[in-house]
């Protein structure tokens, strides 16, 4: 039997071994421990803890606000990416850098800044309070915080694809008699749809697991403005490890489902790019 030639990447076997070992210690072992710990509860007790009224209220708030924020970011993030790619204006580099601020700021700092601005005595909250609108300690405030933290995911997912989109396609559509709206909806949007959906899924996943930027503005009222990550922390502080484990396992399953969906979207995007 002929011997296999050397691999294209020297040291691939060693690098792969180190990678798998590191991922196992940092990611797989803690997650496996969580799953193993949940087996001690038994199905009946796990179901009771995971579907209690307080837990269901936290799921509804967490998933609902995360979905609303991701939908807003899908629209706003695509518009921001379009402006950054297609237009030249004074201060463009500053605006482009501002998009990444949620990545650079600690989430607690983001939460404090948003709360201070939207509080009844804040420079934005005071204007809203004059019209009887209250944002802090409501689900609307939570949604705004999640919009702030999730916007960069959509912008940075769509922006590279817009930069690679050939202007000749739009020019050809215009020469064939298409209006500007038809060109955008039938040429541009289908081309950037996979990237936009990927950014949407990433923003949704970030919103579901977000804690630091939300905890200050939420008010943390049980059955009203208490997000699931905070409820997990509350269970741990009260030494209710069984309840915290049940909630954490639910969030883990949801996170894996979102990651699986993101990988499918990225694979779809690659196939469309290769076909184009």
pLDDT tens sequence across 210-242 = 888 898 888 888 888 899 999 988 888 888 888
Backbone dihedral angles phi then psi of residue 60, each to the nearest 5 degrees: -60, -45
Q: Does the residue 26 lie in any domain?
A: no
Cα–Cα dist 29/124, whole Å: 45
| pLDDT computed for residue 11 by the predictor | 59
Residue 132 is assigned to a structural domain of this protein = yes
Asked if 81 and 162 count as a contact pair (C-beta separation under 8 A), the reply is yes
* pLDDT greater than 80 at residue 25: no
pLDDT of residue 155 exceeding 80, the answer is: yes
Residue at 238 is within a domain: yes
Phi-psi region at 137: left, alpha or beta (left = phi > 0; alpha = psi -120 to 50): left
Neighbours of 138 (CB within 10 A): 18
**Alpha carbon 119 to its chain's center:** 25
Q: How many structural domains does the chain have?
A: 1
Q: Is residue 212 part of a domain?
A: yes
Q: What is the pLDDT of residue 270?
A: 66
Q: Average the pLDDT over 87-115 and give the result.
A: 89
pLDDT band at 36 (very low <50, low <70, confident <90, very high): confident
The secondary element (H helix, E strand) that includes residue 204 is helix 189-209
| 37 belongs to a structural domain | no
For residue 275, pLDDT over 80 is answered with no
- At residue 103, φ and ψ (nearest 5 deg) are -75, -35
13 lies in a domain?
Answer: no
| Domain CATH for 86 | 1.10.3720.10
**Computed from CA positions of residues 261, 262, 266, 272, in that sequence, does the dihedral angle turn out positive or negative?**
positive
Max mean pLDDT among 83-87, 124-128, 143-147, 246-250 falls in: 143-147
Confidence class for position 71, pLDDT limits 50, 70, 90 = very high
Read off the pLDDT band of 1 (50, 70, 90): very low
Residue 65 has pLDDT above 70, yes or no: yes
Dump strand ranges (E) for 105-225. none
The single-letter DSSP state of residue 222 is T
Give Cβ neighbours of residue 125 (< 8 Å, ≥ 6 apart).
117, 118, 119, 135, 136
In a domain, 31, yes or no: no
- Give the model confidence (pLDDT) of 165-189 as tens digits: 877 777 777 777 777 777 777 778 8
Cα diameter, the chain: 83
Which pLDDT score, from 0 to 100, does residue 241 have?
83
SS3 64: helix
Asked if the model's pLDDT at residue 75 lies above 70, the reply is yes
Residue 114's domain comprises 45-271
Rounded CA-CA distance 114/124 in Å is 10
In sequence order, which residues have a C-beta less than 8 Å from that of residue 128 and are 6 or more positions away? 118, 134, 135
| Contact between 53 and 223 (Cβ < 8 Å) | yes
As a whole number of angstroms, the distance between CA 263 and CA 269 comes to: 10
pLDDT of residue 29: 66
124 alpha-carbon distance from chain centroid = 25
Residue 123 has which token pair? 């420079």
- Residue 248, pLDDT score: 86
C-beta of residue 196 within 8 angstroms of C-beta of residue 166: no
Q: Which of 180, 162, 152, 142 is nearest to 87 (CA)?
A: 162
Distance CA 181, CA 207 (A): 32
> What mean pLDDT is predicted for residues 51-78?
94
- Mean pLDDT value of segment 70-93: 91
Q: Which of 127, 124, 121 is nearest to 144 (CA)?
A: 124
In a domain, 141, yes or no: yes
């Amino acid at each position: 039997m002929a011997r296999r030639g050397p691999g294209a990447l020297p040291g691939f076997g060693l690098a792969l071994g180190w990678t798998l070992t590191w991922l196992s210690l940092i990611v797989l072992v803690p997650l496996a421990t969580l799953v193993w710990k949940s087996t001690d509860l038994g199905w009946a007790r796990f179901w009771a803890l995971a579907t209690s009224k307080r837990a269901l209220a936290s799921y509804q708030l967490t998933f609902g606000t995360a979905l609303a924020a991701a939908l807003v970011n899908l629209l706003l993030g695509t518009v921001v990416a379009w402006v950054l790619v297609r237009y030249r204006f004074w201060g463009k580099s500053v605006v482009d850098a501002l998009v990444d601020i949620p990545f650079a700021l600690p989430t607690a700092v983001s939460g404090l800044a948003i709360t201070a601005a939207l509080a009844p005595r804040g420079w934005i909250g005071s204007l809203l309070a004059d019209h009887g609108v209250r944002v802090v300690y409501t689900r609307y405030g939570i949604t705004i915080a999640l919009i702030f933290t999730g916007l960069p995911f959509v912008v940075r997912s769509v922006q590279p694809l817009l930069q690679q989109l050939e202007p000749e396609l739009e020019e050809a559509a215009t020469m064939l008699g298409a209006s500007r709206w038809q060109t955008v909806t039938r040429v541009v949007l289908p081309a950037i749809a996979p990237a936009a959906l990927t950014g949407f899924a990433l923003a949704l996943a970030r919103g579901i697991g977000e804690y630091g930027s939300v905890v200050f503005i939420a008010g943390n009222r049980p059955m009203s403005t208490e997000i699931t990550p905070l409820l997990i922390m509350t269970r741990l502080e009260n030494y209710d490890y069984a309840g915290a484990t049940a909630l954490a396992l639910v969030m883990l399953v949801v996170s894996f489902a979102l990651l699986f969906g993101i990988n499918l979207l990225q694979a779809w995007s690659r196939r469309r790019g290769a076909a184009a």
